[in-house]
Structure 1
């Protein structure tokens, strides 16, 4: 039985690392391809989890171990801020003052269309010039902070530092 628990922990850690390397957007907004990939991964690791043990007890131990590991990671990330940033990442500004930060977008595998889609859905904005900041959040979603218009409905000038 202890080998089932050990295998479950090893698989949990390996799959976690692989999915973390895949990036925030993969987990934040799954496409049909991502779902198929996740299903294939789950099928591929099944034998590593239970081996020849097809008993209810073995399956229960695997499920219990995986849930326990997940709860422990959650508690640890809540207690240790550094660990949270390693495990869950940090919010990343991907657009500032209407200008995409291309190096950050490339790293996150985002396109300008992704930002515009989030701007339309959440703020009803139509173009990049209306966005003060776009932030790729830890969960993979994109938050949009629009420019605030002055009383005449005009966007204030962007202040540039020397």
Structure 2
């Protein structure tokens, strides 16, 4: 039993490392060759972990070969546009100027039901409002509404907006992040004073505190648990 546990942990660690080396992308954003590699790696890892009679190297070596193959293909597609077209394919325009291109739908085996569903997900229920709809190589549908139908932005009214950066997490679950506090150009006395204004007296009582680019502090206290008698 201990041997099975150890073998499983080794294979699990190897699969996690392999997936981390493949990059940070969701399943829906993977290229076809990347999805194939993930499926094969999971199958190869499962066989030795279930059957002790199979040598552990029989699972490790194929996983490493697949990982090396994937990294090689990724590097080649990064360096060569021609190779990228062969390996990943090219985007297909499904809607052009409000008109559905039937030939492209047939070529990509993409039916009208799927197309209408994706448009609804993108909050564009009316095809006539679409300037272009592009089926990307990872299967995602990019929708570009006509200029008259897209949401207005400040630039349309020649309004200059202030810069908005990412908020910094200062306290998370009662733990102070000194690095983020220093980056925000604030200090401990200022933080304690701001928390006091919100009725929070200790860092340990803070569930989450973050600071936006304008210097405004958001803080939420931990929920008090009821004592069980």
Normalising by structure 1, we get a TM-score of: 0.58
Aligned to 2:210: none
How many equivalent pairs are there?
108
Counterparts in 2 of 1:51-66, with a 5 A limit?
54-66=54-66
Greater Rg by CA: 2
Aligned to 1:84: 84
1:75 aligns with 2:75: yes
Q: What is the CA-CA distance between 1:85 and the residue it aligns to?
A: 0.4
1:104 aligns with 2:114: no
Aligned to 2:175: none
Q: Which has the higher helix share?
A: 1
- Structure 1: 5+ residue runs without aligned partners? 1-26, 30-37, 154-162
Counterparts in 2 of 1:116-131, with a 5 A limit?
116-122=116-122, 124-131=123-130
Normalising by structure 2, we get a TM-score of: 0.42
User: 1:134 aligns to what SS in structure 2?
Assistant: strand
1:146 aligns with 2:150: no
Question: Which consecutive segments of 4 or more residues in structure 1 shift more than 3 A?
Answer: none
1:101-141 superposed Cα distances (whole Å, 9 cap, x missing partner): 1011101011222222222212x111211111110101011
Q: What is the CA-CA distance between 1:90 and the residue it aligns to?
A: 0.9
- Structure 2: 5+ residue runs without aligned partners? 1-26, 30-35, 153-229
